[in-house]
Structure 1
Amino acid sequence: MLTAIAAMIFADLADLIAEAVADAVDEPEQSIQAFAETCFQFALHSPNRYQLIWQRQLVDHDDPALAREMERVYSTLLSLLRQGQLNRHVDIETHAIAIWSMIHGYISMRLDGNLVASEDTVTNLARSKAILLSLIDGIYCRET
């Protein structure tokens, strides 16, 4: 039963992400920001739902319905990365894993109480946005 619930949670997250990135489809970096911000908001507003989907001891991640919904989220991220001019020091999967790891790590640390909401003192952005921008700066080629 928890696996079915986790599949529904991932479906909800995938739908929210699709809606959020639709407005920035021509702007790859803004799309990645929208992807991450949606994950942050979802997790911080529904922490128990977010934490459940990652509990391998409670949820069967090999379940086809759950795997399909998880893939929707991940394939969206890959699609967004393919739209931009990436630095090619590593492959696209590595970029996606780096972004997902940063998102999930930051969320986990916030939900566990190890980090609190704060602002970056240089950009005056929310820390979550500033961390993501730092990562994006290393992923995308910039014209000088």
Structure 2
Amino acid sequence: MNPKQKVAAGFIIFRRIEKEIQYLLLQTSYGEHHWTPPKGHVDPGESELQTALRETEEEAGLKKGDFHMYENFQRTLNYEVRGNPKRVVYWLSELKNPNIPIRLSDEHIDYKWLNLPSALKYVEKFKDFQQVLNEADSYIKSNS
């Protein structure tokens, strides 16, 4: 593994409101204020899954028992940030209670629940993540 490579992990979280599937995106309080699912860097001694759970609780206030994780849907993105390699691992999770409140950390300034076409617009700068969202949506629809 490249010692300069950053590794992050998180969840693509969705809920069902009547028949609509909606994805949770958080707006960062830094940089270009881009939109992203809850995710963060892996701490020393932590597994990627432990990171995803910790970051989701820190950034959105959602605990492990608040959602159902689809363990057989995992995607890894590899890209560069400021010239250094980064790897991000995502798992797909569905909220058990679609009305549970989201509690943002100071790393984010807003959140939205968005259907697929809207979510794709919010992340249009990130083509690889758009592909993951499309794959997640197909997976959800084929496993419902």
Where relative contact order (Cα < 8 A, 6+ residues apart) is larger, the structure is: 2
Larger Cα-atom Rg: 1
* Greater share of residues in strand: 2
